A and B are shown apart, each in its own frame.
Chain A
Amino acid sequence: TVGAVALDQDGHLAAATSTGGLTGKMWGRIGDSPLIGSGTIAIDGQCAVSGTGTGEYFIRQNAGRQVCDRVHWNDEGIQSAADATMAEVGRIGGDGGLISMDKDGKVAFALNVSGMYRGSVSSETVAKTAIY
C-alpha cells in the first residue's frame, strides 16, 4: 500500500491511498484503503490520514476518522492521536502503520510493526526518508 497526505499553501489538507491489497486475499475482499474514514481521510482544520496494514482492523477501528476525532474532539496532538489509534488497531489484532498530518502541516508517523517505508518534506524541512 502507498499513500500521501498534504497541506497546501492555502491551508487545505488532502489524503490519498492506493493498494493491491494482501497476497492471497480472497476474491471480492476489500480492505481499508478505498474506504473513506478508515484508510483515508482529510478534513481541513483537523487532520489528514493514510493507513497501511491489515485492513480489516483499520476498518473496525475506523482508523483515519479516529485520528481526526482524537484531534478534533479530544484536543490531542497529532502524534498522540496517531499513536493511540495504532494502539487500538493493535489491541484487536491488527498491524501496520499510518501517516497523519495536522491542520498546520505537522507530520506524525505511527506503526506497530518493525518497518514502514515513509518520507516527508515541507517548506521548512528538507526531504527525508525512513524505513525502520
Chain B
Amino acid sequence: DVSEQLTPVLLDGPREESLQLVSELQDSSCSCAVDVSTVWWEAAGCRELRVVTASESAVSLWEPLAPACWGKVYTWHLGEMPVIQIVPLPDTCNLVCVALGELEIGEIRLLLYSSETDSFKHSLVKTGNIKAVVGLKDRRLVSSSRTMQEQQVEMVSLSETGGSKDRQTLMPPEDTVTAFAEVEGLREALVGTTAGNSVVVWNLKTGQLLRKMHVGYSYPASICHRAYSDSGLLFVVLSHPLAKESESCGSPAFRVVAFNPCTGRSVGVMFSCLPPGCAGRQVPGGDVWDAVGAAVLTSGAVAVWDLLRGQFVAVLPPGPAGHWALARWAGGGAGLLAGRRDGTVHLYRY
C-alpha cells in the first residue's frame, strides 16, 4: 500500500514514470516545516549535495548517508524572527541563505560553517521591509525593499565567509518589485515582475533599468520564475496565482512569454494548466528548474509540468500521511523535493 501511495500518478498517457522516489528524511523535531532546499557542501575535500530544511525557528543541514538515507549535520536556531523561506544560491558552496520576518521579510541571513572558529554560525546581510529576494550565480543576492518614500533595489556580492564584499544599487521601477529571476545566457541581466504587472529588465553591471514591459491585463499579479535569452528574445516563465479560470485554458499554472526587449512587445508561447479533473488551484510559490515547473495545489497534491511543451507530466497525490505543502527542485538536477508540514521530505528523481 505504501509503495502504491508513493507512486506518482501519470495523466499523460502511457510512458515511463517521470518521478521516482529516491529517499526520504523525517525531521522529528520539526513542528511546522516552512521550506526545503539543497546546497552544495564541501568538507574534507568532498563536495556533495546536502538538503536544507527550515521550520519557523530553526534551519537544519542534512548529509547523505548510504543507502537512501539522510543524517542531520547541524541545526541553526534563529529565535528572534520566524524563518519565511530559504533563498537558494545557485552554484554556491557552503552557504545557506534564509529570509526571516513576520508577514514580510524583515532580514536576510547567511548560515555557514567557519573554519576559523571551527563552528557553525550565521551573519546578517540585510534588514528592511524586503519585498522580494533572489540568489544568483557567483554568490550574488538581489533584493527589493521599500521605505515610505522610495523603493531600493540592491545587489550584494557575498564573500565565502558570509560577509558582503560589494553592494550595487539598481535603478528601481516606479511600482514595487514582487519577484526576480536570473536570465540564462546573460550573466549580467536580471528580470523582475512588478505589482503593476510588468516585466522589468536590469543591467546588473551598471545598475541600469533597461526596459519595462507590460504583461497584459488577462493575467494579473504575474510572478517571474526563470528567464532565457535566445535568438534576440527574452523568454520569461511566469506564474499567475491570482488568474481566473478561463474556458480556453482552464486554470493557468505557468506561462512562457516571449518578449522582444527592443520593442517591448510580447506573445504567449506556452500555457501550462491544471488538467481537467485535477481539483484545486496552485498555491503561490511554485518552483522552476530548467524547463520544468512544480507547484503545490490546494488539494495537497504536487503537480509537475514540462513548460516548453505545456504538458502536465506528473502529480504526487496527497497521501494518508498528509498533504504536500512544499515543492522545490533540488540543485544539480538531483530531482524534486516534496515536503509536508510535519517535517517529512521526499526526494524524487525526475
* A-B interaction: no
Residues of A near any B CB (own CB < 8 A): none
Residues of B near any A CB (own CB < 8 A): none
